[in-house]
A = this chain, B = another copy of it.
Amino acid sequence: MIIIMEPGTSEDNIQRVVKTLEKHEFKVVLNRGEVMTVIAAIGDKRLFDPHSLGSLEGVREVKIIQEPYKLASREGQQEDTIITFDNGVKVGGLERPVIMAGPCSVEKDYQGLLDVAYAAKEMGCKFLRGGAFKPRTSPYDFQGLEEKALVFLARAREKTGLLVVTELMDSNDMPLFENYVDVIQIGARNMQNFALLKAVGKSTKPVLLKRGGAATIREFLLAAEYIMCNGNKNVILCERGIKSFDQSFTRNVLDISAIPVIKKLSHLPIIVDPSHATGRRYLIEPMSKAALISGAHGLIMEVHHDPDNASSDGAQSLSIPQFIEVAKRLNKLIGRIDYDNRMTKQELGIK
């Protein structure tokens, strides 16, 4: 941690900072410049909230050097986290990127859900997504079928073998989720719902954590840290677009560079949601390709048996025939990436 003092501040003010740091067991080095003094504090930030120094008189700025998350960081764990599911599916590292597909909301028409699930299975997907509890901006929009949707999803899993991914909004629903669900999704709006993060941190189910619409990468990884330091190390990160000043042609801006940035900072798998990121059906394919080629460990996308009559997000859902066309081209690209990864594994001597 670096503490920059105001130009011309008094020696007393400087010594007060030094004492505070020493009280918290930091090693302190003073750099007295011509214009201002800079104090370097060496030690473990995690025991101490550095912003508290900002209130001391004469302090201009406190700059943190070490990233504040630990379990989620590459410094804490060099090797990629690879999450292995009961049926052998693996997510992360150099494993073949996965596609998660399904409707935005699970609806009354169970057969429609099943049709999507079979199409997903046919195209090589291993995960079925579908909203049971829906976070809707307006209280007057469709809020989800709740437990009934979970039952439908579980039934579709039985038929197809696909793993079920769905969003948890209330920690009181955890028992239901432990029963029915394979991957617990935390939505973008709840990325800093710390009560919920702690709750899923105590679960044994893998968690799919979506990046908040205005969350920095640091905040995103700290949200993952909340889950991990409560005991659950199986976190899959998901970039789904960030808010920008231009919302005329896309809902959000998909931050593709977050993929290689996060892969450098963290060992956790990271996937991309091109449907929510763009809000436009025609952008799903190009953004999926961009995500895969820049290193994403997977995709999660919306597919609906009848998008024109979907209860939510029809405009960003692929129909089943559209999905099949897109999936074919994505599988071709994934095949090439998978081939490259296998070559890399061979070089690295990984089995």
Contacts and interface: CB of A to CB of B under 8 A. Distances in A.
Interface in A171-190: 171-172, 189-190
- A interface, how many residues as a size bin? 35 or more
Nearest to A219: B137
Contacts of A34: 42-43
Interface string A282-324: 1100110111011100000000000111111111110000000
Interface string A27-45: 1010111111010101100
Contact of A139 (B16, B139, B218, B226): B226
A248 interface: yes
A127 interface: no
Contact of A217 (B54, B248, B310): B248
A52 B286 contact: no
B244 A245 contact: yes
Interface in A21-70: 27, 29, 31-36, 38, 40, 42-43, 46-47, 49, 51-56, 61, 63, 65-66, 68-70
A229 interface: yes
A195 interface: yes
Contacts of A281: 55
A170 interface: yes
A255 interface: yes
A142 interface: yes
Given A55-B317, A229-B139, A249-B265, A257 B254 contact: yes
A40 B38 contact: yes
A38 B2 contact: yes
A287 B214 CA distance: 21
Contacts of A244: 242, 244-245, 253, 255
Contact of A242 (B46, B56, B136, B253): B253
B142 A49 contact: yes
B310 A283 contact: no
B245 A214 contact: yes
A119 interface: no
Interface of A: 2, 4, 7, 16, 20, 27, 29, 31-36, 38, 40, 42-43, 46-47, 49, 51-56, 61, 63, 65-66, 68-70, 75, 135-142, 169-172, 189-190, 192-196, 212-214, 216-219, 222, 225-226, 229-230, 242-250, 253-257, 259-261, 264-265, 277-278, 281-283, 286-287, 289-291, 293-295, 307-317, 333
29 contacts: A2-B2, A33-B42, A34-B42, A35-B75, A38-B65, A51-B315, A52-B309, A54-B315, A55-B315, A55-B316, A56-B308, A135-B192, A137-B192, A139-B230, A171-B172, A189-B192, A193-B196, A212-B214, A214-B245, A217-B248, A218-B246, A245-B245, A250-B257, A253-B257, A254-B256, A256-B290, A260-B282, A264-B282, A290-B290
